[in-house]
Structure 1
């Protein structure tokens, strides 16, 4: 059976994702489509809008056959680590192809760019350090260094967010000596960071979340940008829990954590560099919201995304030592199943005897360094709920089996 993989957050699943999924299937003609999906916290350092279980249902009803979780240690890191973890999972499952969205849209350009960067790594690293000394953030320094070396008519524009991820997917395939074949599909209509609606049916997840968090809009007003299944599960989640997850819901926890931590304790947290912990402590007392706090601590050198990721790691108490060990060998050590269609189950039955890492249907009784961080992430994500709901949801986190979906009858088994 031929499987194609997509690497996603689905926060939430929207029409742009549906376009990418349909085009992926058209281009690769797979027997099974696998989504490697981030869990409780995301690459930009944000809590997922709704639970991974609700997002899994959105994915299954949209046509994904198998949903597996990208562990916290990869999901909340920069593009290189994010890509390494995701590609290692698809490779472990003997997936044949991976298809990603990009602003470029031509896979040969990504392959050429990876080759170019390998030949020019020393010059690239030197130039990046020079820009860092001038006070630019690392992403900006890296982008400027690349622009000074590469001809964008020949190579991929690495100032674009999806191109950056795509480059690291192709690089991870090369570095891991994976047999995966990469394909790409050009993004359409809405940019990754767009905050406004500019198309009648396609919008970025950023603009959709912004609308959801606005007091002037409700789900009905953004339903043109979402498949019906997404609208259904967003509505059901809000009706049951009376919230969507966002940083403001966690600000009290973050404030408590910062106010009860010493500079030396914070300096041990992953992504705390160059004394940034002192800046956080200097502004937290007077900050009235997460937005207010972020506006106070952001500088030219520290991007909003990096600061958010640092705040996530503070909440989960993820230390430099913990992630240093994982980053030395950035590959997944288990496969956590979140959901599957009947096609997905047939594919698993076909390959499982050849899969060399554990496949977890439930998370009880399993332990390793990666999974320990997933457990802390789950406890943090659910901490905003009152008891006994929090304990009930946490118990489900470990005991809940994969969601099973009959794609022909559109029912859950």
Structure 2
């Protein structure tokens, strides 16, 4: 019998490490849940990066951890700024009709303050938009400008005792900001899901080196693996099953994946396209297409890492550039990322994997789900799903040892069952 308390998690698991295992255990405990549903990004991630290993391997990690049902966040939401990443993921959890709680990590661990702020920002007041325009006019990046504008609006409304600096500090921390957008999304969706937050433990989101004996950020773990280190160097921070899956994937030539493996296809698109063609790609704005054309002749190694380094400015952050280049690689148009299209939410629930309890959840979702539940790519024809399939093929094409099966795995791979 399925309980009424089912906790939802929004994850990337790139790769799944000990901090994620802590979050999973605590989320189930705090929600009093007997089951967990994860919405997981596919082969490309929110910061505009390829995942270390593909979505199927990371689904295995999630199931080994104890997640009961894994759903894919469409790439049209997975590779987006926080507002739309959060909206797409929260909409999927809400659309299942079975998830009762959403538990996310934050630096503050203080839900009341974040909820109060979300209530203010969900309406997108004129004062907030005016403050945002002023901050952007200073040359600040959008994330920094949004944090500053939201802090001003929150303090003006009496939040945190009117302390603008305290509000800005709260919002500039990445997990607080993402969690805030989850709360805003739930409000806009008028969802009945109850939010919970856990304070991050042992490592900061951007920490490039471990600060704890057993918990490190995903960034630090990837750095140990790909930055001249090895899987052995990262072993202390990974559950045994993650280590085994990574070893298998690397041995099979399906990883480790990183941006520079995509240099050749990306540069083919950049070199062949005129500036006006580049301008049609999602997040290609403020003349970035001309800056790219200006920088290309200065390259020496012709890698994506070098290109991003040359393009980076105060306004063009590392993450913004990676996302824009990824949209260009995948052929994502400006229209695909329009507010009108994204605000409508995902159009399906794509199942990547499940266990026995997850199978029971799927049976229940036949009655409760607000969207079609897809277990095979051929089950539905929709532009969002087509984009997912193309993205997975582009990802597989850059593997060290690609195969025909990998290129078209979305059509051939059934959901993983544990």
Do both share a fold (TM > 0.5)?
A: yes
Aligned match for 1:273, one of 261, 281, 285: 285
Secondary structure, in 3 states, of the residue corresponding to 1:150? Answer: helix
Question: Which residue matches 1:40?
Answer: 43
5 Å-filtered alignment, 1:256-267, equals 256-267=268-279
Question: Which residue matches 2:164?
Answer: none
Question: Which residue matches 1:290?
Answer: 304
Structure 1 contact 81–330 (Cα < 8 Å) conserved: no
Question: Which residue matches 2:52?
Answer: 49
Structure 1 contact 85–330 (Cα < 8 Å) conserved: no
- Confirm or deny that 1:28 pairs with 2:40: no
5 Å-filtered alignment, 1:14-413, equals 14-94=17-97, 95-118=99-122, 121-151=125-155, 153=160, 157-215=170-228, 217-241=229-253, 243-287=255-299, 288=301, 289-324=303-338, 327-385=341-399, 389-405=402-418
Secondary structure, in 3 states, of the residue corresponding to 2:267? Answer: helix
Structure 2 contact 121–184 (Cα < 8 Å) conserved: no
Gaps of 5+ in 1: 406-413
How many residues align? The count is 403
Question: Which residue matches 1:408?
Answer: none
Q: After the TM superposition, which of the residue ranges 55-64 and 149-158 deviates more from structure 2?
A: 149-158
- Deviations for 1:69-114, whole angstroms, at most 9, x for unmatched residues? 0000100001110111111111111111110001111222221111
Structure 2 contact 171–177 (Cα < 8 Å) conserved: yes
Q: After the TM superposition, which of the residue ranges 334-343 and 355-364 deviates more from structure 2?
A: 355-364
- What is the rounded CA distance, in whole Å, between the counterparts of 2:356 and 2:348 in structure 1? 22
- What is the rounded CA distance, in whole Å, between the counterparts of 1:6 and 1:53 in structure 2? 17
Structure 1 contact 364–399 (Cα < 8 Å) conserved: no
TM-score relative to the length of structure 1: 0.94
Question: Which residue matches 1:409?
Answer: none
- What is the rounded CA distance, in whole Å, between the counterparts of 2:76 and 2:259 in structure 1? 19
Gaps of 5+ in 2: 162-166
Structure 2 contact 257–399 (Cα < 8 Å) conserved: no
Q: After the TM superposition, which of the residue ranges 130-139 and 47-56 deviates more from structure 2?
A: 130-139
TM-score relative to the length of structure 2: 0.92
RMSD: 1.7
Deviation, structure 1 residue 47:
0.5
- What is the rounded CA distance, in whole Å, between the counterparts of 2:412 and 2:186 in structure 1? 33
Secondary structure, in 3 states, of the residue corresponding to 1:124? Answer: helix
- What is the rounded CA distance, in whole Å, between the counterparts of 2:56 and 2:290 in structure 1? 37
Secondary structure, in 3 states, of the residue corresponding to 1:285? Answer: helix
Structure 1 contact 283–296 (Cα < 8 Å) conserved: yes
- What is the rounded CA distance, in whole Å, between the counterparts of 1:75 and 1:336 in structure 2? 14
Deviation, structure 1 residue 396:
2.1
